[in-house]
Amino acid sequence: MRKRMLALLVCLVLACLIPSGTGEEIDLSPAPSTAAPDAPDAGSTPPSLPPVSDAPLLETPPMRLNCAAALLMEAESGQIIFEMNADSPRPVASVTKVMTILLTLEQMDAGRVSPKQPVTISQSAAGMGGSQVLLDVGETQDVDTLLKCMIVGSANDAAVALAETLYGSEALCAEAMNRRADALGMADTHFVNCTGLPAEGQHTTARDVAVMSRQMFAHPRYFDHSAVWMEDIDHGDGRATQLVNTNKLLRLYDGCDGGKTGSTKEAGYCVSATASRGGMRLIAVVLGAASGKERFDIARQMFDFGFANYRRYPVAKRGTKVKGRLPVTGGEADGVGLALGGDLTLLVNKGDEQRVALSPDLPESLPAPVREGDAVGRVTVQVDGRPVAQIPVVAAETVEAKGNGIKRFWHNWAWQF
Domain check: are 93 and 172 in the same one?
yes
Q: How many CA atoms lie within 13 A of 192 on its CB side?
A: 11
Q: What distance in Å separates the CA atoms of residue 210 and residue 80, rounded to the nearest whole number?
A: 9
Q: Sheet containing 80-84: which strands, arranged edge to edge?
A: 80-84, 69-74, 280-289, 268-277, 256-264
Please compute the mean of the pLDDT values over residues 343-362 and round it to a whole number.
Answer: 86
Q: What is the pLDDT of residue 409?
A: 53
Q: How many CA atoms lie within 13 A of 338 on its CB side?
A: 27
- pTM given for the model: 0.78
Q: Model confidence over 172-185: pLDDT tens digits? A: 999 999 999 999 99
In b/e form, how buried is each residue of 374-413, taking b as 16+ CB within 10 angstroms?
eebbbbebebeeeebbbbebbbbbbbbbeebeeeebeeee
Please compute the mean of the pLDDT values over residues 228-253 and round it to a whole number.
Answer: 95
Percent of the chain with pLDDT over 90: 70
Residue 297 inside a domain? The answer is yes
Cβ(369)–Cβ(399) below 8 Å:
yes
Chain-centroid distance of CA 328 in Å reads 36
> In 66-204, which ranges are E strands?
69-74, 80-84, 118-120, 140-142
Residue 5 inside a domain? The answer is no
Q: How confident is the model at residue 351 (pLDDT cuts 50, 70, 90)?
A: confident
Q: Model confidence over 102-111: pLDDT tens digits? A: 999 999 999 9
Q: What is the pLDDT of residue 8?
A: 32
Q: What is the pLDDT of residue 406?
A: 55
70 three-state secondary structure: strand
Domain check: are 252 and 293 in the same one?
yes
Domain check: are 385 and 263 in the same one?
no
Phi and psi, residue 89, nearest 5°: -65, 140
Domain check: are 122 and 255 in the same one?
yes
Q: How confident is the model at residue 256 (pLDDT cuts 50, 70, 90)?
A: very high
Residue 11 inside a domain? The answer is no
Last residue within a domain, chosen from 309, 335, 361: 309
Domain check: are 329 and 297 in the same one?
no
Please compute the mean of the pLDDT values over residues 199-214 and round it to a whole number.
Answer: 97
77 in active site = no
CA angle 57, 61, 67 (to 5 degrees): 135
Range with the lowest mean pLDDT among 29-43, 184-198, 323-337, 342-356?
Answer: 29-43
Q: Of these residues, 53, 77, 97, 272, which one is catalytic?
A: 97
Domain check: are 299 and 354 in the same one?
no
Q: What distance in Å separates the CA atoms of residue 8 and residue 285, rounded to the nearest whole number?
A: 71
CATH label of the domain that carries residue 376: 2.60.410.10
Residue 61 inside a domain? The answer is no
Q: What DSSP character marks residue 359?
A: E
Q: Of these residues, 53, 94, 122, 272, which one is catalytic?
A: 94
Residues sharing a CB contact under 8 Å with residue 63, sequence separation 6 or more, in sequence order? 301, 302, 305
Q: How confident is the model at residue 45 (pLDDT cuts 50, 70, 90)?
A: very low
Q: Model confidence over 283-307: pLDDT tens digits? A: 999 999 999 999 999 999 999 999 9
Domain check: are 117 and 173 in the same one?
yes
Domain check: are 239 and 385 in the same one?
no
Q: What is the pLDDT of residue 237?
A: 92
**Mean pLDDT over each residue of the chain, to the nearest integer:** 86
Would you say residue 39 has pLDDT above 60?
no
Would you say residue 2 has pLDDT above 80?
no
146 three-state secondary structure: helix
Task: Count up the domains in the chain and report the number.
Answer: 2
Residue 220 inside a domain? The answer is yes
Q: How far is CA 158 from CA 51, 151, 190, 326, in A?
A: 32, 10, 21, 58
Range with the lowest mean pLDDT among 210-219, 342-351, 399-408?
Answer: 399-408
Q: Of these residues, 154, 213, 263, 272, which one is catalytic?
A: 154
Last residue within a domain, chosen from 309, 331, 366: 309
Is the peptide bond prior to 369 cis by the omega test (within 30 degrees of 0)? yes
Please compute the mean of the pLDDT values over residues 269-280 and round it to a whole number.
Answer: 97
Q: How many CA atoms lie within 13 A of 263 on its CB side?
A: 13
More confident residue, 314 or 133: 133
Range with the lowest mean pLDDT among 26-30, 55-59, 313-317, 346-350?
Answer: 26-30
Domain check: are 156 and 282 in the same one?
yes
Residue from 162, 66, 57 nearest 105 by CA:
162
Would you say residue 247 has pLDDT above 90?
yes
Q: How confident is the model at residue 117 (pLDDT cuts 50, 70, 90)?
A: very high
Range with the lowest mean pLDDT among 7-16, 127-136, 227-236, 253-262?
Answer: 7-16
Q: What is the pLDDT of residue 30?
A: 35
- In the chain, the amino acid numbered 87 is D
154 in active site = yes
Would you say residue 19 has pLDDT above 60?
no
Residues sharing a CB contact under 8 Å with residue 187, sequence separation 6 or more, in sequence order? 208
Residue 108 inside a domain? The answer is yes
Q: Model confidence over 65-77: pLDDT tens digits? A: 999 999 999 999 8
Q: How far is CA 83 from CA 68, 141, 186, 190, 220, in A?
A: 11, 40, 16, 21, 27
Would you say residue 4 has pLDDT above 90?
no
Q: What is the pLDDT of residue 129?
A: 86
Cβ(331)–Cβ(402) below 8 Å:
yes
CATH label of the domain that carries residue 80: 3.40.710.10
97 in active site = yes
Please compute the mean of the pLDDT values over residues 47-63 and round it to a whole number.
Answer: 79
Q: What is the pLDDT of residue 52?
A: 60
Burial (0-12, 13-18, 19+ Cβ within 10 Å), 234:
exposed
Q: What is the pLDDT of residue 229?
A: 96
Residue 8 inside a domain? The answer is no
Domain check: are 79 and 221 in the same one?
yes
More confident residue, 278 or 19: 278
Residue from 298, 156, 150 nearest 228 by CA:
150
Domain check: are 78 and 201 in the same one?
yes
Last residue within a domain, chosen from 277, 309, 341: 309
Q: What is the pLDDT of residue 185?
A: 94
Phi and psi, residue 138, nearest 5°: 85, -10
Would you say residue 83 has pLDDT above 70?
yes
Cβ(38)–Cβ(345) below 8 Å:
no
Give the number of residues written for the chain. Answer: 417
CA angle 232, 128, 70 (to 5 degrees): 85
Q: What is the pLDDT of residue 12?
A: 31
Which range of residues forms the domain containing residue 140?
69-309
Residue 53 inside a domain? The answer is no
Domain check: are 141 and 212 in the same one?
yes
Query: Angle 404-412/2-17 helices, nearest 10 degrees?
Result: 140
